[in-house]
Amino acid sequence: MVKEELSTENRPDNTAFTQQRLPAWQPILSAGIIIPGFVLIGLAFIGIGVALLVTSQSIQVMEIDYTGVDQGSPCFKCTDSTVSNCKCEIEFTIDKLFEGPVFFYYGLSNYFQNYRKYGASKDASQLSGDLDYFTSPATECDPYIKDNNDKPIVPCGSIANSMFNDSFVLSRLINGAKEVVPLDGKGISWWTDYNVKYRNPSITPLKNAFNGTVKPINWPRPAYELDTSDPANNGFINQDFLVWMRRAALPNFRKLYRRITEGNYADGLPAGDYSLEITYNYPVLSFDGRKKVVFSNVSWMGGKNEFLGIAYLVIGSLCVIMSIVMLIVYAKFKFPDED
């Protein structure tokens, strides 16, 4: 094409890179791609949306607020902070079979587990079983590093200290008699939390590891006695503790309490009357918080989630509408050389 010129040493390299002639894909927002693309995306979203909605419809959820704000509510008596070891009982009815497996959550509202200082207030090394940090917890645990007697708190920090400590007993009322529904508390935390992140010191008995330390101020029992029924479920790898320590992202949250998977209730909670006995320990009313229990079952996509399905439907429809608008605009103003 060009006559060969004298090549000289200063001549820049004639490569595609240096001459900015690299082969390149130059996409352009042509109507042929965009409009069908929008239609396809729209249809796909609508499809997913419908599937999500249908799935979501089939999920059963039951929420029971037991804070006891209302004077008529059974737990109102427990809202008085002077009463200790208060128990209250809430009865409810299930109209049709609550299909299993049923998950039993407790929920808190207006509770700021996501507050920065709250979230930072723990000692990861201590919780991974490092005994050095038992005697001198990290400063992050402030203000729950040591108690008034200058003894180290284990587990230290705000999160641990504020662990949720209401407990529940669910019974089915069969002809006036209570049949306790067995609750399964195993495996309700993340596998990695239970197996990797939190470790007890390798000292047996576990109690000895805690020599010289004190329990968190709010706790009724020390960490090594969290579960009296199952010695393996104590210390830092207690399931309830793990669930609590995985702090929530938002001020209204719920946490898994138990699963109902055993015995007669493996297929779900049959229709009937139930009673929930609550050991009411955890005060929330001082900051206008709410406590509730939630029963729910799940599908492939988890729990009930109407928003997702609706959002998909809306976005999908908008895409389709946009594609029609674009088609009209395009037909009116298209490039003259299109043919």
Q: Which stretch binds other proteins (CB under 8 A): 4-12, 69-77, 86-94, 267-275?
A: 4-12
- State how far Cα 126 lies from the chain centre: 24
128 forms part of the interface with other proteins (CB under 8 A): yes
- Applying CB under 8 A, among 47, 231, 263, 302 the residue interacting with other proteins is 302
Question: Judged by CB, which is closer to other proteins: 117, or 231?
Answer: 117
What residues between 248 and 267 interact with other proteins by CB under 8 A?
248-256, 259
- How many residues in the chain? 339
103 forms part of the interface with other proteins (CB under 8 A): yes
The SS3 of residue 96 is coil
- Taking the CA atoms of residue 15, residue 20, residue 22 and residue 28 in that order, the dihedral angle to the nearest 10 degrees is -170
Rg (CA), the chain: 30
Least Å distance, CB 305 to other proteins, is: 5
The SS3 of residue 78 is helix
Amino acid at site 193: D
Question: Judged by CB, which is closer to other proteins: 39, or 173?
Answer: 39
What residues between 23 and 42 interact with other proteins by CB under 8 A?
23-31, 34, 38, 41
What residues between 60 and 79 interact with other proteins by CB under 8 A?
none
The SS3 of residue 34 is helix
241 forms part of the interface with other proteins (CB under 8 A): no
What residues between 194 and 213 interact with other proteins by CB under 8 A?
196-197
319 forms part of the interface with other proteins (CB under 8 A): yes
Half-sphere CA count of 140, side-chain side, radius 13 A: 17
Contact 132, 202 (CB under 8 A): no
What residues between 133 and 192 interact with other proteins by CB under 8 A?
139, 142-143, 158, 161-162, 187-192
- Applying CB under 8 A, among 20, 148, 149, 228 the residue interacting with other proteins is 20
* Spatial CA neighbour of 60 closest among 304, 255, 256, 259: 304
Interhelix angle 306-333/31-57, rounded to 10 degrees, is 160
- Applying CB under 8 A, among 116, 150, 177, 202 the residue interacting with other proteins is 116
Question: Judged by CB, which is closer to other proteins: 174, or 325?
Answer: 325
Least Å distance, CB 288 to other proteins, is: 7
Least Å distance, CB 338 to other proteins, is: 8
Question: Judged by CB, which is closer to other proteins: 9, or 177?
Answer: 9
Contact 234, 224 (CB under 8 A): yes
> From residue 124, how far is each of 21, 120, 142, 145, 284 by CA, in Å?
54, 10, 13, 13, 27
What residues between 267 and 286 interact with other proteins by CB under 8 A?
283, 286
326 forms part of the interface with other proteins (CB under 8 A): yes
In degrees rounded to 5, what are phi and psi of residue 172? -95, 135
Least Å distance, CB 147 to other proteins, is: 14
2 forms part of the interface with other proteins (CB under 8 A): yes
- State how far Cα 187 lies from the chain centre: 14
